[in-house]
Structure 1
Amino acid sequence: MPPPSKLAIATSSVQRLVKEEASYHKELVQQEARIAKLEKGSDDENAEYQMKQERKALEETRAVIPTVKERIQAALTALEQQLEINKAEGAPADTEQVAKAKEVVAAAYTAIREVS
Structure 2
Amino acid sequence: MAPPSKLGVSTSALQRLVKEEASYHKELEQQQSRITKLEAAPDEENAEYMLKQERQAIEETKKVLPTVREKITRALEQLEEQLESNKDAGGEASAEDVTKAKNAVAAAKTTLRESA
In the superposition, the TM-score normalised over structure 1's length comes to 0.94
Number of residue pairs the alignment of both structures matches: 116
Report the Cα distance in structure 2 between the residues aligned to 1:87 and 1:2, rounded to whole angstroms.
21
Find the counterpart in structure 1 of residue 39 from structure 2. 39
Percent of residue pairs identical:
62
Find the counterpart in structure 2 of residue 101 from structure 1. 101
Report the Cα distance in structure 1 between the residues aligned to 2:71 and 2:109, rounded to whole angstroms.
13
Instruction: Report the CA distance shift for 1:94/1:9 in structure 2 as closer, same or farther (over 3 A).
Output: closer
Root-mean-square deviation (Å)? 1.4
Find the counterpart in structure 2 of residue 20 from structure 1. 20
Report the Cα distance in structure 2 between the residues aligned to 1:40 and 1:22, rounded to whole angstroms.
27
Residue 20 of structure 1 and its aligned partner are, at CA, apart by: 0.4
Report the Cα distance in structure 2 between the residues aligned to 1:93 and 1:65, rounded to whole angstroms.
32
Report the Cα distance in structure 1 between the residues aligned to 2:4 and 2:27, rounded to whole angstroms.
32
Whether 1:81 aligns to 2:65 is no
State the 4+ residue runs in structure 1 displaced beyond 3 angstroms: none
Whether 1:91 aligns to 2:91 is yes
Say which is worse superposed, 56-65 or 87-96, in terms of deviation: 87-96
Q: Which runs of 5+ in 2 are unaligned?
A: none
Report the Cα distance in structure 2 between the residues aligned to 1:12 and 1:93, rounded to whole angstroms.
15
Residue 40 of structure 1 and its aligned partner are, at CA, apart by: 1.1
Q: Which runs of 5+ in 1 are unaligned?
A: none
Find the counterpart in structure 2 of residue 62 from structure 1. 62
Report the Cα distance in structure 1 between the residues aligned to 2:20 and 2:45, rounded to whole angstroms.
35
Residue 44 of structure 1 and its aligned partner are, at CA, apart by: 2.5
Report the Cα distance in structure 2 between the residues aligned to 1:35 and 1:46, rounded to whole angstroms.
13
